[in-house]
Amino acid sequence: MSSSTLTHEIGHYFGLDHPHKYWRIKLKQEPVSRTRTIRGSNIKMCERKGDGLCDTPAEPNLSRYTDDKCHYTGWNVKDKYGEVYKPVTNNIMSYPKNRECRNNFTNGQIAVMLETASRNKYAKAWSTQSENAKNFDFDYYEPDDAREIASEIFFNTPQTHTFHLICTGKKKADLIDHIDWLYFNLNTTKKQDITISISESKYPLTDIKISVFSISGIISESNISSGSKLKIIKLNNIKSGKYLIKVEQVTTKEELTGYKINVVK
Ligand SMILES: [Zn+2]
């Protein structure tokens, strides 16, 4: 299965049609012209025919009119008004012979998907304005739940992380993500002092345990208790190399919390 197939199907779920919809049925066919209007009105036909979007060109079913290299081959195929089709071959909702050609949604398609999502019965829960949505505040740096998939933090570039709910798809089985792994690379010729600061983000700090590892083992371990505003961890005289930071939420409370972390040299 092509990598674009799931995206295509999600496009349908969010209200998109195939740009070539009804292209074989003359009565319903979308014209190539973007300005042709429905007789007796000033409504553009491209807004009503095909997929109903004027920013996706009218097209025949591309599976017969494209090659493996994503070139359009239907140079002589015309709409019922005699205009030659000029489609693109990269639209996710089209049917190019090679499905790997598909990598684009137009602005019109994105607008339709957002509009459909806003009408979904769960739309409120997704909204960033919603109280309920805050429990699902996503951590941009995830996944980083294990040492092997630690996310990189750069010097003097603070990151905000959350201990957030992980939706498991089962009603009562939402898990909370309790552990984050981060790493930084220190490139230095002589030993250096590094400071790690952890402070509250838009969420207050809870009980957190922080461990720092060098390649040879643990070099620092400390705790932050809930209600604290800031914790400074100093690593003195450390040499060049990769360092791992494990941030672990020490609580059984299933509530969303977070922290801001900065590594300074
Ligand atoms: Zn489809």
Tell me, in angstroms, the distance from the centre of ligand 1 to residue 199's CA: 48
Tell me, in angstroms, the distance from the centre of ligand 1 to residue 8's CA: 6
pLDDT tens, N- to C-terminus, the chain (265 residues): 577 899 999 999 999 999 999 999 999 999 999 999 999 999 999 999 999 999 999 999 999 999 999 999 999 999 999 999 999 999 999 999 999 999 999 999 999 998 998 888 877 766 656 665 555 555 667 667 778 888 899 999 999 888 766 555 555 445 566 888 999 999 999 999 999 999 998 888 888 999 999 999 999 999 998 888 999 999 999 999 999 999 998 876 666 778 999 999 9
Tell me, in angstroms, the distance from the centre of ligand 1 to residue 138's CA: 30
Q: Rounded to whole angstroms, what are the CA distances from 216 to 3, 96, 196, 211, 265?
A: 41, 53, 19, 13, 21
Q: Indicate yes or no: pTM above 0.75.
A: no
Tell me, in angstroms, the distance from the centre of ligand 1 to residue 12's CA: 7
Tell me, in angstroms, the distance from the centre of ligand 1 to residue 104's CA: 14
* Residue 158 Cα to chain centre, angstroms: 21
The radius of gyration of the chain from alpha carbons, rounded to an integer in Å, stands at: 27
Q: Provide the residue ranges of all domains of the chain, joining segments of one domain with +.
A: 1-120, 132-264
Tell me, in angstroms, the distance from the centre of ligand 1 to residue 21's CA: 10
Share of the chain above pLDDT 90, in %: 68
Q: Rounded to whole angstroms, what are the CA distances from 144 to 150, 168, 213, 242, 262?
A: 5, 17, 15, 16, 17
Tell me, in angstroms, the distance from the centre of ligand 1 to residue 168's CA: 27
* C-beta of residue 213 within 8 angstroms of C-beta of residue 246: yes
For domain 132-264, the question of CATH label 3.20.20.70 is answered with no
